[in-house]
């Protein structure tokens, strides 16, 4: 489905190669077009690095926030609810701006654009990860916990060897969704000057003044990136399911 719509989109865009289009800006057969294309693609590195770093952190934080949410103790559950509700309520862009411009003032630390972006994205995503993990862990049968207890596994071992391996299989599609979401949201970090895909496109637009072509390339960059990631997640799912069926 996505592949077809990508094709239709391309056909439409290229079909409009009349006078008002100026594909020369990204025509790889010319020296300047090639250089421009290379410039645009050079943002890929930070888009991917930013997203992967942020999601790794948000998965860990999300799990650490999910666990108290499953506790019998009201206080711990309260912590989980408060965290999720608060963090979820702040728009990502606002979080990025606040962390980059605000946090150094209150903390006295200087923070790089990259880490401001990572923290903002990770923080914002961790609330969703916490909910995903909580649901995933809850979906594992209670008997698994009881069996672990009956062979005297402690809480950490029960989670690590029994519950999480089963939960992660079930939440893998949701984790894949979050990664896609993260790749898209990373474009927001361009506002504080992160040299990722969107920023590169913006910079080129200012020089070349061909927003239509350049942003079309940008759309395609995200599209291809995300199609690759989706395929990767599906492959992982298939592999894990095959594992489970052995």
Residues that bind another protein (CB under 8 A): 141, 143-144, 146-147, 149-154, 157, 161-162, 165-166, 169, 244-246
Residues 6+ apart with CB under 8 A from 207: none
- Rounded-to-integer distance, Cα 114 and Cα 102, Å: 15
Please, which residue, 3 or 73, has the CB nearer to another protein?
A: 73
CA distances from 86 to 9, 108, 176, 182 (A): 39, 24, 24, 19
Please, which residue, 49 or 153, has the CB nearer to another protein?
A: 153
Please, which residue, 164 or 223, has the CB nearer to another protein?
A: 164
Q: Report in angstroms how near the CB of residue 166 gets to another protein at its nearest.
A: 6
Q: Report in angstroms how near the CB of residue 160 gets to another protein at its nearest.
A: 9
Q: Report in angstroms how near the CB of residue 48 gets to another protein at its nearest.
A: 30
Q: Report in angstroms how near the CB of residue 246 gets to another protein at its nearest.
A: 6
The length of the chain in residues reads 246
- Rounded-to-integer distance, Cα 159 and Cα 64, Å: 12
Q: What are the CB-based long-range contacts (under 8 Å, 24+) for 219-223?
A: 219/9, 220/6, 220/10, 221/40, 221/41, 221/43, 221/44, 221/197, 222/183, 222/184, 222/187, 222/197, 223/2, 223/6
Please, which residue, 2 or 244, has the CB nearer to another protein?
A: 244
Label residue 154 left, alpha or beta by phi (over 0 means left) and psi (-120 to 50 means alpha): beta
Please, which residue, 104 or 165, has the CB nearer to another protein?
A: 165
Q: Report in angstroms how near the CB of residue 158 gets to another protein at its nearest.
A: 9
């Amino acid at each position: 489905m996505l592949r077809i719509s990508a094709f239709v989109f391309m056909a439409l865009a290229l079909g409009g190669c009349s006078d008002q289009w100026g594909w020369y800006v990204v025509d790889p057969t010319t020296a300047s077009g090639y250089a421009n294309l290379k410039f645009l693609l050079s943002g890929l590195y930070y888009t991917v690095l930013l997203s992967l770093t942020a999601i790794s952190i948000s998965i860990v934080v999300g799990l650490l926030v999910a666990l108290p949410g499953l506790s019998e103790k009201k206080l711990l559950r309260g912590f989980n609810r408060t965290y999720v509700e608060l963090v979820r309520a702040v728009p990502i862009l606002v979080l990025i701006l606040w962390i980059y411009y605000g946090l150094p003032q209150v903390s006295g630390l200087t923070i790089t654009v990259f880490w401001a972006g990572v923290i903002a994205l990770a923080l914002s995503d961790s609330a969703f990860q916490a909910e995903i993990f909580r649901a995933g862990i809850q979906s594992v049968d209670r008997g698994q916990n009881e069996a672990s207890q009956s062979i005297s596994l402690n809480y950490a071992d029960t989670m690590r060897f029994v519950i999480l391996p089963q939960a992660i299989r079930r939440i893998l599609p949701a984790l894949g969704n979050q990664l896609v979401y993260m790749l898209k949201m990373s474009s927001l970090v361009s506002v504080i000057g992160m040299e990722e895909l969107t920023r590169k496109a913006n910079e080129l637009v200012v020089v070349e003044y061909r927003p239509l072509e350049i942003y079309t390339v940008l759309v395609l960059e995200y599209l291809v990136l995300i199609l690759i990631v989706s395929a990767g997640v599906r492959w992982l799912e298939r592999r894990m399911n095959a594992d489970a069926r052995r």
